[in-house]
Amino acid sequence: MGCPCVSAVKKEGSIAVPPSRNADGPTYDLRTVSAQAEPDPTTLRVLPWLVAVGLFMEHLDISILNTAIPVIAEDMGITALSLKAVLTSYTLALAIFIPVSGWVADRYGTRRVFRSAVAVFTIGSLLCGLSTNLPMLIASRFVQGVGGSMMVPVGRIALIRAYPRSRMLAMMNYVVIPALIAPLVGPFIGGSIVHLFPWRTIFLVNIPIGLVGWWMIRRHMPDFRDTAETPLDRIGMVLFGAGIALLSYVLEVFGEHSWPPMGIAFLFATSIVLLIGYRMHARHTAHPLLYMRLFAVRTFRIPVIGGFITRLGVGGMPFLLPLLYQIGLGYSPLEAGLLTTPLAVAAIGMKIMSRGLLARYGHRQVLLWNTWLLGACIMLYALVDTRTPVSIIVLLSLLQGLFSSLQFTCMNSLTYADVDDERASEASSIASTAQQLALSFGVAVASLVAALFLDHIPQSDRSAYIGGLHHTFLVLGGFTIVSGLLFRGLRRMDGANVSHFMLRQEAVA
């Protein structure tokens, strides 16, 4: 079976320029053809599935690990909250290396980078499975994060360049639906594995998936690249990477009695100085690590900043719910995993409904109302205790899946609505960096808030432990509701070229 060819056809009737070829398939030079490529039917079918491989691996790994956290903590003789470093080390690696993903993809091609990313992620999974202590597990998760930092943003770059904006919403939903199968089956797989086998086995599930994906990418993925010799902003990478790493570390250790307040304050101040230094550096360099001028585009700025703040509240839920279900309510890992399954089912269903909702109401109205509903849903978990029927917990999980899925679909599709194709790499780097930072900080914030309410409460005291988690859900839900105010800056017709809202209004008129 041969590789799919990308028809490099300029828009508005310009001359078709065929892509060059190498041993691995077609290569599309963005400098030769300035307009967006029109993919042939084979590429149209295969490319979304290739990107979904990366999403599937990443989501499967996260959902399995979240289910197994209490078991891992018990095996290592530490508290469950202490395992937040295993989660944040992964997302920290994403935040550090995602900013260079656009430059690397342009320089070396989407196929080579995406394939290498899958390989690194698979190797990291093997190392996690071989880990014998907490520091080794944290380091192995960081290796996984290095691979993950290239998988999702580079796959997104290929999709943005291969599809017109009018098809972006349908394309993103098509890609995400297979990826959502991972959190659907992940909790069940994770609960079953830790019930029947050593917990280290959970990381070995990724290996056969990674090997198959690595082979398919070489044969079927088109290669988009930019042959312009744009230099890498090494100074910016050091300033931004070091600043983000320090800030994430401060959030992780904040509140631990082993660190003196002055030491925490010094690290926090240093991280802020480094990030301010990067901002000043980016203003005076021709090719900054992150192209901040994109924030002048309203439909890019608001979903990126608003999405960052929203994810700070939502990002801690996958970490908190296993604590509530297993430690607080006493469910087994398998039972706790099954309680999160409705969330994934609802998320898949919402991907199908989201196109109609956006076409009817537009991005602004949907984001405003859905953010408030999502925050309220998080706060409702404060009503869950040992007397709560399972049916109510399932209903809450369904609601969370519906609102979360619609929220992310709206923000992700609006982000690229008015971004030029030439800036797709820069836009993907910034948006992906913001998303992963928010998820990393979300886990840290959730852990910090939970620690404030759970301090000195033994896990054996289930009633008090559940009460502390209830207060945490109220804080995170309230934070999410407040973040909805940011979306008021959107205009009624923003994102209409993606949602077809304008066409709907004209039809009604």
Q: Structurally, how many domains does the chain consist of?
A: 2
pLDDT at residue 390 above 80?
A: yes
Distance in angstroms (rounded) separating the CA atoms of residues 271 and 276: 9
Per-residue 3-state assignment (H helix, E strand, C coil) for 106-163: HHHCHHHHHHHHHHHHHHHHHHHHCCCCHHHHHHHHHHHHHHHHHHHHHHHHHHHHHC
Q: What H or E segment, with its residue span, contains residue 398?
A: helix 390-415
CA distance linking residue 178 with residue 173, whole number of Å: 9
Contacts of 336 (CB under 8 A, 6+ apart): 67, 187, 191, 321, 322, 325, 326
pLDDT of 177 reads 66
Mean pLDDT of 227-231: 72
Buried b (16+ CB within 10 A) or exposed e, 330-358: ebebbbbbbbbbbbbbbbbbbbeebbebb
- Domain boundary among the residues 259, 288, 317 is at 288
Q: Which of 470, 464, 471, 487 is nearest to 414 (CA)?
A: 487
Nearest by Cα to 313 from 444, 144, 123: 444
My answer on whether 47 and 72 are in the same domain is: yes
Please report the pLDDT score of residue 258 as a whole number: 63
Q: Quickly state the pLDDT bin for 274 (edges 50, 70, 90).
A: very high
Q: Which residues contact 344 (CB under 8 A, 6 or more apart)?
A: 63, 180, 181, 182, 183, 184, 401
Range of the domain at 416: 32-225+289-508
Q: Which of 117-121, 373-377, 459-463 has the lowest mean pLDDT?
A: 459-463
Residues 6+ apart with CB under 8 A from 261: none
Q: Is residue 18 part of a domain?
A: no
Nearest to 402 by CA among 341, 466, 358, 351: 351
Residues 273 and 193 in one domain: no
**Predicted local distance difference test score (pLDDT) of residue 15:** 30
Measure CA 478 to chain center.
22
DSSP 31: T
Kind and range of the H or E element at 443?
A: helix 424-454
Confidence category of residue 359, pLDDT binned at 50, 70, 90:
confident
- Across residues 216-235, what is the average pLDDT? 78
Tell me: the pLDDT tens digits for 45-104? 777 777 877 777 777 777 778 778 888 888 887 777 677 778 778 877 877 888 888 888
Whether 19 is covered by a domain: the verdict is: no
* Residue 389, phi then psi, degrees to nearest 5: -60, 150
Please compute the mean of the pLDDT values over residues 111-133 and round it to a whole number. 90
| 67 shares its domain with 138 | yes
Quick one: what percent of the chain has pLDDT higher than 70? 82
**CA 202/CA 195 separation, integer angstroms:** 11
Reply yes or no on whether the pLDDT at 24 is more than 70.
no
* Same domain? 272 vs 407: no
C-beta separation of 223 from 24 below 8 A: yes
Q: With 90 as the cut, is the pLDDT of residue 327 above it?
A: no
Q: For position 447, what pLDDT does the model report?
A: 82
> Considering only 194-208, 362-376, 397-411, which range has the smallest mean pLDDT?
194-208
Are both 206 and 322 inside the same structural domain?
A: yes
Quote the CA–CA distance of 310 and 456 in Å, as a whole number.
30
406 and 282, same domain (yes or no): no
42 pLDDT higher than 70? no
Say yes or no: 243 and 382 in one domain. no
CB 47 within 8 A of CB 174: no
Tell whether 293 and 282 lie within a shared domain.
Answer: no
Lowest-confidence range among 213-227, 252-266, 344-358? 252-266
Terminal-to-terminal C-alpha distance of the chain? 50
CATH number assigned to the domain comprising residue 356: 1.20.1250.20
**Range of weakest confidence among 39-53, 104-118, 172-186:** 172-186
Q: Are residues 266 and 360 in the same domain?
A: no
CB atoms within 10 A of CB 276: 12
Q: Quick check: is 17 in a domain?
A: no
How far apart CA 440 and CA 448 sit, in angstroms, is 12
Spatial distance between the Cα atoms of 430 and 414, rounded to a whole number of angstroms: 14
Band of pLDDT at residue 388, cut at 50, 70 and 90 = very high
Residues 45 and 149 in one domain: yes
Residue 369 lies in a domain: yes
Region 206-217: mean pLDDT is 85
Structural domain contains residue 246:
yes
Residue 26 resides in a domain: no
The torsion angles phi and psi of 223, rounded to 5 degrees, stand at -110, 110
Q: CA-to-CA distance for 109 and 401, rounded, in angstroms?
A: 35
Q: Are residues 338 and 324 in the same domain?
A: yes
With respect to residue 22, please indicate whether it lies within any of the assigned structural domains: no
For residue 499, pLDDT beyond 80: no
> Which residues are within 8 A (CB) of 229 and not within 5 positions of it... i.e. 6 or more apart?
none
Residues 442 and 299 in one domain: yes
Q: The pTM is what? A: 0.71
Tokens 């998080």, residue? 378
How confident is the model over 319-333, as a mean pLDDT? 87
At residue 127, the pLDDT reads: 93
Average pLDDT over residues 30-53: 61
Among 44, 47, 12, 10, residue whose Cα is nearest residue 29: 10
Q: What is the mean pLDDT of residues 117-127?
A: 92
Confidence of residue 178 (pLDDT cuts 50, 70, 90): low
Average pLDDT of every residue of the chain:
79
